[in-house]
Amino acid sequence: MKTQFAEPAKVVEFVPHVLDLKKILVPVDFSDTSKKAFQYALKFAEQFNCEITLLNVIEPVSPMIGEPLAVEACSFAKREFSLAEKNLAPLVAESHTNGANSVHSTLRIGHAPNEITKAAKDLDVDLIIMATHGYTSWRHLCIGSTTERVVRTAPCPVLVVREKEHEFI
């Protein structure tokens, strides 16, 4: 008895029809794990010929109350924006040298889970690919999980890239 299997080419042709990705959002905090998530996004972009937006969220350190604190917060934001732009530029440049043409970056100020979700809605993305640091127990409770909050509130699917995992790219 001879068993026949579907040709692999037919399976590959079927995948893009199921997943019609046009825009991917990749929140980055410049950790190794978030850079790993960006590498996943590059592979998806290559497969589906879609655009990637890198997002860095700057979270305010202290509430802005009164004029002296507002001035201090403003100079803090300018420094943080400058540093974030400086860190995003090599990622975008590297992606262009590796053949990815549609990689953009953006910055936002605010609470990271909220800003990531808002960006996903504003940019009408089809997928968010983001890292998780895998904190558990008390660290998770004290710090909170940005990734978990995004997964719960995102307007689209979220691919979570863990620090230690079986890689498929």
Q: Which CATH number do you get for residue 96?
A: 3.40.50.620
Written as tens digits, the pLDDT of the chain (169 aa) is 555 555 555 545 555 456 788 999 999 998 888 999 999 999 999 888 899 999 999 887 655 555 555 555 555 667 888 888 888 888 888 777 666 668 999 999 899 999 999 999 999 999 999 998 755 545 444 445 888 899 999 999 999 998 776 666 5
Task: Please indicate, yes or no, if residue 15 is contained in any of the structural domains.
Answer: no
Question: At which residue do the structure tokens 């904190």 appear?
Answer: 135
Task: Please indicate, yes or no, if residue 51 is contained in any of the structural domains.
Answer: yes
How many Cα neighbours within 13 Å face the side chain of 131?
21
- Domains held by the chain: number: 1
d(C-alpha 151, C-alpha 71), whole Å: 35
d(C-alpha 21, C-alpha 131), whole Å: 19
Separation in Å, CA 67 to CA 59, 71, 93, 141 = 19, 6, 39, 34
Task: Please indicate, yes or no, if residue 13 is contained in any of the structural domains.
Answer: no
Task: Please indicate, yes or no, if residue 169 is contained in any of the structural domains.
Answer: no
Query: 96: domain range?
Result: 20-162
